[in-house]
Structure 1
Amino acid sequence: MRICIVTEYFPGGEDLDIRGGAEACAYNEARMLSEKHEVTVLTSRTPENPGDYTAGNMQVMVCGPERRYVQAGSITGRLRFMASALRRGLKLDPDVVIGYNFITHPVAWWIAERRNAAAVARYHDVWLGEWIKNIGLSGILGEVLERYTLTRRFDRIITVSGYTAGKVLERYPWQRVSTVHNMVDFRAPKVERTPGPSVSCVSRLVEYKRIQDLIRAVADLRDEFPDIRCRIIGTGPLEESLRKLALQEGADENVEFLGFVERHEDVLRVVAESWVFCLPSVVEGFGIVVVEAMGCGTPFLAAEIPPVVEASQGRGGLFFRPSDWRDLRDKLKLLLSDSKLRSRLSSEGAEVFSGYSADAIGEKLEEILMEVTHHKGNE
């Protein structure tokens, strides 16, 4: 197959550092598919990716003016990227075009329509009616584009979870939807656990991630665990207010904000060193960081929401009531106090993690792509 992948960001530089879930999904799947198929990637021009390049068996074409990695906003930059990616994509002759996030789904659709290729949307979550609540006024662009995307008749929408598939089909029952979980395939860093009790978190610092719940829980546990250490990786608009919260709660010496960590390997090291990994988020499409924690042998503590329960298969960690920092505190206390429980959950997580290997997920994805291109060719 000739496969065109459209992704807002793609790892660049010598180390091919990955910074976000959709980017990781696109890279891992592109790399796996390129072992057997011709893969061309359309992505943003960034300081790390200033010009077209080859990564393994993949041809990467950078589009639009240079811009830095962003998680929200940048409406003008994103629109210019979309226009450039469309122009370059129309010069290709793909069998299938896959979009990986809300600004690339329409581009994949337009290229596929004009080049008579199969159109596929790799879907992480449905935010219809929630964009502005989740990320502010810049969410207007997401709201418009997602409504447009889900009213197109894609040859297939491939969701990362059954939970997300259900959300698509609830509103658009005529869409053709399949589920293939995210590929999570890496070698766990060989590191020692921290000598004292520790918890890590990898998250955007936005309201729906509920980092404030973790900070309050850690602050409340200082009497029982005076040397508790909480390391938070990520940036976002709430960073300053979260720092102030830690100070107000008297936990500023226990809570460390590491900001944006460039190397994914370094992120995994922090997770692997921790006694517990925490994801307090109440909005997720899949929960890839929980699977990564299991791959590092670190038990997780997460808000009990359907996509994360699905991703973990309910094993490898404990769940607390969403947005309930006191329940989070109680479960965190249990995990930090019971080494046998942590060991059992670590073993469970390793078993679950093995099911997310590149071979297992890649085979499912390839089968669906072969099916949609075969059907398109017979129309």
Structure 2
Amino acid sequence: MNVAFVSNVVYPFVKGGAEKRIHEIGKRLVANGHSVTIYGRHFWEGPEVITNNGIILRAVAPSTELYTGERRSITEALEFSTRLIPTLRHHIDDHDLVVASLFPYFPVLASKFTTLGTNTPLITTWHEVWLDYWEDYLEHLALFGKGVEYITAKTPHCSIAVSSVTADRLTEIGPSRDEIEIVPNGIDVDQIKSTQPVNDGFDILYAGRLIQDKNVDLLLEAFDQVAETAPNITLGIIGDGPERDSLKRQAQNLDHADRVTMLGFLKEYDDVIAHMRAADIFASPSTREGFGITFAEAMAADCTVIAAEHPESAASEVIDDAGFLASPTVDDITHVLERALSGDRPNTEPTTRAQRYDWNTVAEQAEQCYQQAINGDWK
């Protein structure tokens, strides 16, 4: 098969979850004898068309800033989508399939436009479905965000969701549940297992964005309570975000502030994994996770994972019985932390559960879905 991926950001020149997924699946498709092209922005040095890991990278727009403050730039997305149309349309007959990266939606709509009048199917991978979260993200422009998400969901295409939670949310505005395939996000299990742990690790670790939905404030309070009877335990917080300053103040005012370290954002992925490999417990009481890749990474690193049980989080689906769930309250997080610190292990070994998220397994599932779409056998 000849696959076209559409993504304004391209890994490894921009390092994020969605573009890494395309890269990992793409290079495995190439290894299986398929042809893969990524249509993106020109974030790399050299000519507009290059080959990286066997994948053809074709620039349709110059590199630019992706964010305006804390939010993705709408202007950037519109400009990229406008530039995408003539280039992809010119090459559309070369491809058996177009796979468009979802956020920020406009490239999906542009990709659909280029496939009109052809037999080339369009697939979109849904990492999250925001619905009412647009009110927090865009405030007075929330109706605009909801409208674009709704139009994208209603646009005819083959839908892949990274979790059942995301698929269920998608059905509220788009296709029926039996029309959606589930292909989870992936990790490199061997890379994680072979990473050397840091020498000065923490007993309990958090890694992720410092935003309200992650509930790091609850974790800090729970840790402070647990530290009353566990005098040697330590907590490390990896990440950055709009809640950073308030969380730093909170950490400094804890009774056991000397045992909490805010490490900030770690640029190198291996550095984050090295801390996971050194930790006994990975705790993230987030209540909004379309998938939750850090849970899979922590399981591969053989951490006891503690996550929040919440209808808008896929954590329970990702970890199943290979970790522990807590309600997003200080008391329950405290209780589960104490349980894990006492040596209680989950029913399924975390490393065993993590294997289902290895990129080789995920790429195989994706390849089957792509072939389904090409054959016209989508549900």
Q: Give the aligned residue type for 1:319.
A: L
Q: Tell me if structure 1 keeps the 8 A contact 2:165–2:290.
A: yes
How do residues 173-184 of structure 1 correspond to structure 2 at under 5 angstroms?
Answer: 173-174=175-176, 176-184=179-187
Distance 1:50 1:68 in 2: 20
Judging changes above 3 Å, is the alpha-carbon distance between structure 1 residues 224 and 209 closer, same or farther for their aligned structure 2 residues? same
Aligned to 1:206: 211
Which range moved further: 282-291 or 233-242?
A: 233-242
Q: Tell me if structure 2 keeps the 8 A contact 1:193–1:274.
A: no
Aligned to 1:162: 164
Consecutive unaligned residues of structure 2, counting only runs of 5 or more, are none
Aligned to 1:28: 24
Over residues 308-362 of structure 1, what are the superposed CA-to-partner deviations in whole Å (9 max), with x where a residue is unaligned? 11112x222111002x122112211221232xx34x66x6111111222333222
Deviation, 1:260, is: 2.5
The match for 2:34 among 15, 32, 37 is 37
Q: Tell me if structure 1 keeps the 8 A contact 2:66–2:76.
A: no
Over residues 56-91 of structure 1, what are the superposed CA-to-partner deviations in whole Å (9 max), with x where a residue is unaligned? 110122343423565733232233233233343223
Pair 1:124 & 2:134 matched: no
Distance 2:202 2:239 in 1: 21
Q: Give the aligned residue type for 1:12.
A: P
Deviation, 1:196, is: 7.5
Distance 1:327 1:206 in 2: 21
Q: Give the aligned residue type for 1:164.
A: T
Taking every aligned residue pair, what percent have the same amino acid on both sides?
Answer: 25
Aligned to 2:82: 83
Q: Tell me if structure 1 keeps the 8 A contact 2:150–2:173.
A: no
Judging changes above 3 Å, is the alpha-carbon distance between structure 1 residues 276 and 62 closer, same or farther for their aligned structure 2 residues? farther
Deviation, 1:139, is: 6.0
Judging changes above 3 Å, is the alpha-carbon distance between structure 1 residues 192 and 289 closer, same or farther for their aligned structure 2 residues? closer
Distance 2:321 2:39 in 1: 37
Judging changes above 3 Å, is the alpha-carbon distance between structure 1 residues 42 and 173 closer, same or farther for their aligned structure 2 residues? closer
Q: Tell me if structure 2 keeps the 8 A contact 1:42–1:61.
A: yes
- TM-score relative to the length of structure 1: 0.86
Deviation, 1:369, is: 1.0
Pair 1:309 & 2:306 matched: no
Which range moved further: 251-260 or 298-307?
A: 251-260
Consecutive unaligned residues of structure 1, counting only runs of 5 or more, are none
Aligned to 2:111: 108
Over residues 202-228 of structure 1, what are the superposed CA-to-partner deviations in whole Å (9 max), with x where a residue is unaligned? 211111111111122222233223443
Query: Is the partner of 2:132 in helix, strand or coil?
Result: coil
Over residues 256-289 of structure 1, what are the superposed CA-to-partner deviations in whole Å (9 max), with x where a residue is unaligned? 2333322222221111111111121100111221
